[in-house]
Structure 1
Amino acid sequence: MSNRKLNIAFFGSSLVSAYWNGAATYYRGIVRALSERGHNVTFYEPDAYDRQQNRDMPDPDWAEVVVYEATEAAVYQCLEQAAEADMVVKASGVGVFDELLEREVLKLQTEERLVVFWDVDAPATLDRVHHDPKDPFLELIPQYDLILTYGGGEPVVNAYEALGAKKCVPIYNALDTATHFPVEPEPRFACDLAFLGNRLPDREARVEEFFLKPAALQPESSFLIGGSGWGDKQMPDNVKYVGHVYTKDHNAFNCTPKAVLNISRESMARYGFSPATRVFEAAGAGACIITDYWEGIDFFFEPGQEILVARSGAEVAAILAELTEEKAKAIGEAAYTKVLSAHTYSHRAEQLETLLYTKIKQGKEALV
Structure 2
Amino acid sequence: MKLVIFGLTVSSSWGNGHATLWRGLIRALAARGVRVVFFERDVPYYARHRDLPALPWAELVLYADWAEVAERARTEATSADAVMVTSYCPDGPAASRLAVEHGRVSVFYDMDAPVTLARLAAGETVDYLPSEGLGGFDLALSFTGGEALVRLERDLGARRALPLYGHVDPDHHRPGAVDPRYACDLSYLGTYAADRQPTVNALFAEPARLRPGQRFLLGGSGYDTAFPWTDNIYFLDHVAPPEHPAFFASSRLTLNVTRRDMAQMGYCPSGRLFEAAACGSPILTDIWEGLDLFFEPGREILTAATTEDALAALDLDAGELAGVARRARERTLDEHTSAHRATELLRLLSTAPASPRDLEEA
TM-score of the two chains, using structure 2 as the length reference: 0.92
In structure 2, distance between residues paired with 1:133 and 1:215: 37
Residue 282 of structure 1 aligns to which amino acid in structure 2? A
Residue 33 of structure 2 aligns to which amino acid in structure 1? G
Which of 4, 7, 14 matches 1:12?
Answer: 7
Q: Evaluate the alpha carbon distance shift between residue 224 and residue 250 of structure 1 in structure 2; reply closer, same or farther with a 3 A threshold.
A: same
What pairs with 1:336-347 in structure 2 (closer than 5 Å)?
336-347=329-340
The 3-state SS of whatever aligns with 2:344 is helix
Cα pair 2:167 2:338 within 8 Å, conserved: yes
1:276 has 2:267 as partner: no
Q: Evaluate the alpha carbon distance shift between residue 365 and residue 26 of structure 1 in structure 2; reply closer, same or farther with a 3 A threshold.
A: farther
Q: Evaluate the alpha carbon distance shift between residue 118 and residue 196 of structure 1 in structure 2; reply closer, same or farther with a 3 A threshold.
A: same
Which of 107, 125, 132 matches 1:116?
Answer: 107
What pairs with 1:150-165 in structure 2 (closer than 5 Å)?
150-151=143-144, 153-163=145-155, 164-165=157-158
Cα pair 1:215 1:317 within 8 Å, conserved: no
Deviations 1:209-256 (A, max 9, x none): 221122122222211100111243331221111210011100000000
What pairs with 1:163-312 in structure 2 (closer than 5 Å)?
163=155, 164-232=157-225, 233-312=227-306
Partner of 1:24: 19
In structure 2, distance between residues paired with 1:49 and 1:123: 27
Which of 43, 47, 59 matches 2:42?
Answer: 47
Residue 347 of structure 2 aligns to which amino acid in structure 1? T
Deviations 1:12-66 (A, max 9, x none): 1122221122211121122122211111110011111432332223523321111
Residue 167 of structure 1 aligns to which amino acid in structure 2? R
Deviations 1:276-309 (A, max 9, x none): 1000000000111000111111111111111100
Residue 7 of structure 2 aligns to which amino acid in structure 1? G
Q: CA deviation at 1:268?
A: 1.1
In structure 2, distance between residues paired with 1:296 and 1:282: 19
Deviations 1:185-231 (A, max 9, x none): 10011110000011123222322222112212222221110011124
Cα pair 2:93 2:131 within 8 Å, conserved: no
Partner of 1:319: 313
In structure 2, distance between residues paired with 1:292 and 1:270: 11
Cα pair 1:20 1:49 within 8 Å, conserved: no
Q: Which runs of 5+ in 1 are unaligned?
A: 1-5
Deviations 1:347-368 (A, max 9, x none): 11112211211126797589xx
Cα pair 2:138 2:354 within 8 Å, conserved: no
Q: CA deviation at 1:78?
A: 4.2
Partner of 1:3: none
Residue 263 of structure 1 aligns to which amino acid in structure 2? V
Query: Sequence identity, in percent?
Result: 36
Number of residue-to-residue matches in the alignment: 356
Partner of 1:64: 59
In structure 1, distance between residues paired with 2:33 and 2:301: 34
Q: Which runs of 5+ in 2 are unaligned?
A: none
Indicate the RMSD between aligned Cα atoms, in angstroms: 2.3
Cα pair 2:138 2:355 within 8 Å, conserved: no
Cα pair 1:194 1:257 within 8 Å, conserved: yes
Q: CA deviation at 1:161?
A: 1.5
In structure 2, distance between residues paired with 1:238 and 1:103: 51
The 3-state SS of whatever aligns with 1:173 is coil
The 3-state SS of whatever aligns with 1:237 is coil
Which of 336, 347, 356 matches 1:354?
Answer: 347
Residue 130 of structure 1 aligns to which amino acid in structure 2? A
Cα pair 2:110 2:143 within 8 Å, conserved: yes
In structure 1, distance between residues paired with 2:131 and 2:260: 23
